[in-house]
Amino acid sequence: MEAKLPCSSLPPRPRLWFSTGPPRPYPLPVQPPPPKLPTLPLRIKVSYDKEVTVCIAAIARAKAGRCIVVCCDSRLDQGWLGSTVYNQKLRIVGTGWLSMISGRWQPAQELVKAITNRFKSGAVTLSDALATAREAANDYHTSAFFSNQEEALVSGFVGSDPIVMHIGADMSVEALPHSARECPVDRRK
C-alpha cells in the first residue's frame, strides 16, 4: 500500500510572467502602423574647389579690461586620403603671443616655427611687434618650404594693449583695425 502525500506537500505551481486573468470584455485598441518615412539617397561626396579653414581673432572689452577672443577649427583634409579633426591650428608662439595658421599643413608648420623663433623675446611696442612679424614672414619667405598658400593670424599684447596681425599668403604683414588702439568706451549705465 502506498501512502498518499497531503496536498500541502506538493511543490507550488510556477508563476507565469503574463496575466492569466479572465478575458477582457473588449478588444485591445489596435495601433496604426508608423508612417513610412521617405528613404533618403545615399550620401554624395561633395568636393570643393578650395579648402577652407576657420581662424577668428577679435579684440573684445570685458569688465577686467580688453582681451583677445580666438576661435579656429581643427579639420585637416588630405585630398582623397581622407581628413581628420584632431589638428592644432592654434599655437603659442611666445610669452603672451599665439598664432593661428591656415594653408598646406607641412609648410604652415614651418611658418609657425619661423614666428615662434622671432617672438620668443616678445615685443615692447606696436612697431616692434610689426617688425618682428615681418622678420618672421621674411624668414619663412626665404625658406625652401614657402609655397604662397599659408597664412597666419598672430595675436598678443603689447603692454596692456591687444594686437592682432595678419600675415598674408604673399607674406605681407598688417595690424588689423582696432589693434593697440583705444576703442571708444560706453559710459552709459
Domain ranges of the chain: 55-175
Are 122 and 97 a contacting pair, CB within 8 Å? yes
Cβ atoms < 10 Å from Cβ of 6: 6
Torsion of CA 117, 121, 122, 128, to 10 degrees: -90
Q: What is the pLDDT of residues 58-71, one digit of tens each?
A: 888 888 888 888 88
What is the CATH number assigned to the segment(s) 55-175? 3.60.20.10
pLDDT score of 32: 79
26: pLDDT strictly greater than 80: no
Predicted TM-score of the model (pTM): 0.65
Confidence of residue 188 (pLDDT cuts 50, 70, 90): very low
Quick one: average pLDDT of 87-105? 87
**CA-CA distance, 36 to 34, in Å (whole number)?**
6
Confidence of residue 24 (pLDDT cuts 50, 70, 90): low
* Residue with more model confidence, 2 or 126: 126
